[in-house]
Amino acid sequence: MSSTSQNFPRTFYKLSGAWDAKTGTRTFKDSIWSITSSAKNDPISMIPAMMTDKLGKMPDMMAAFEQVGLMERRNDQVWIYDMRQSDVLPKSTSDLERLYSFALSAIRVWFNRTDADYLTKHSHISTCFIVWYFTKPNFFFKDKVMKQTTRNGIQRIWTPFFIAKQTKVVSQTPTPRADSKRSVITTTDAMLPKQQVEQEKIRTSIAKIFKDAGGKLFAWDDPLNVHRNISGAIANNDRIFSIKQTKKLQNLYNEYTKITSKIDETMRKRAKADFVNTRIMNRTQSPGGEPALSPTSSGAAEETVESGVGDKPVEAVSPCLQNLEEEVVDSWEDL
């Protein structure tokens, strides 16, 4: 296996600049590069020609990725490596190694031996092109979600195929309970008011950007409608938002989805606790109709009160406009 490039960021930006200029506003369905005899001596043109020809003909991209492995599927998206906060490049050396492992495995699976040998020989360019192909906005479309505007008519909405960060699944082990019939579930939702205030601030900031740019405001009660409107604004196909506004929208929407997910989870736990506690109280009614002593009453002082099963305090929320830039590794080597 070829070693990773020690100067991957500089290599990627140099190559992506040339590919961006060549592509313009065309998409993966257009014929941009051609496999010619002269191109074989220029891997910067030959590799895009080989890969776009192969990838553009795949009927099911998700199935092709699952055939390679070395990735995780999340609905209609895949995770291969954690990205830096500032761009789509690998966050750490281990993430870079995961990217190269996937790219070289994909080459062996998707291409015949002759083509695979050529692509592996120029592994740095091949890896850069895979990242560019699937992360360049409005180039590769993983679905057929459309929107219609008066100015531009019907257009496809681009959403990322690569997930920027691995989703961590936290297993929760139920806490043993001494007396399940008399134990009351509690929830830790002290952060809920603060989260709701933070959520409303983000909504206000997003609405202000739409208003300043002359965009159409939308309701917040439909998550799918919110996603479509903000994704369309970030894509900026209507050309009504500035670059600064689209970047700010992206950061705000990322924070909005995080805090909304936390609020939804807290509300779900609260509803579950209320339901279970109601059943517990109904079961503890005495035969004569008198309610049993609650765990907090003086007559039940000797009984222990258990905390919630698997509940955890909701994490504090970072400021919505915080955008910490990560350092770029300085010890990279040239292509």
Q: 83-127, pLDDT tens digit by residue?
A: 998 888 999 999 999 999 999 999 999 999 999 999 999 999 999
Q: How many domains does the chain have?
A: 2
- Asked if residues 181 and 283 have their Cβ atoms less than 8 Å apart, the reply is yes
Q: What is the pLDDT of residue 107?
A: 92
Same-domain check for residues 194 and 93: no
Question: Tell me, what's the pLDDT at 131?
Answer: 92
Residues 203 and 119 occupy one common structural domain: no
Do residues 43 and 127 both lie within one domain?
yes
The share of the chain scoring above pLDDT 90, in percent, equals 17
Same domain, 121 and 197: no
Amino acid 100: pLDDT: 92
Residues 72 and 187 in one domain: no
208 & 263 share domain: yes
pLDDT for 276: 81
Report CA-CA distances (Å) from 248 to 245, 254, 317.
5, 10, 18
Task: Show the 3-state SS of 190-216.
Answer: CCHHHHHHHHHHHHHHHHHHHHHHCCC
In a domain, 268, yes or no: yes
Q: What average pLDDT does the chain have?
A: 77
Looking at the structure, tell me whether residues 186 and 277 fall in a common domain: yes
Same domain, residue pair 95 and 203: no
172-191 pLDDT per residue, tens: 655 555 544 556 666 667 78
Q: What is the pLDDT of residue 264?
A: 85
β-strand partners of 159: none
Q: Is residue 157 part of a domain?
A: no
What predicted TM-score, i.e. pTM, was given to this entire model? 0.48
Count of C-beta atoms within a 10 Å radius of residue 177:
14
16 and 123 part of one domain: yes
Domain end call among 71, 100, 135 = 135
Residue 26 belongs to a domain:
yes
For residue 83, being part of any structural domain is answered with yes
Residues 111, 40 within the same domain = yes
Which is nearest to 277 in space by CA: 312, 309, 301, 314? 309
Residue where a domain terminates, one of 135, 170, 195: 135
Asked if residue 322 belongs to a domain, the reply is no
- 242, amino acid identity: S
Q: Residue 318 falls within a domain, yes or no?
A: no
Q: Do 120 and 225 lie in a common domain? A: no
Q: Is residue 159 part of a domain?
A: no
The rounded distance, in Å, linking the Cα atoms of 191 and 84 is 28
Segments in the chain below pLDDT 70: 1-3, 169-188, 284-335
Q: Which domain holds residue 203?
A: 180-300
Same domain, 105 and 214: no
**Domain contains 174:** no
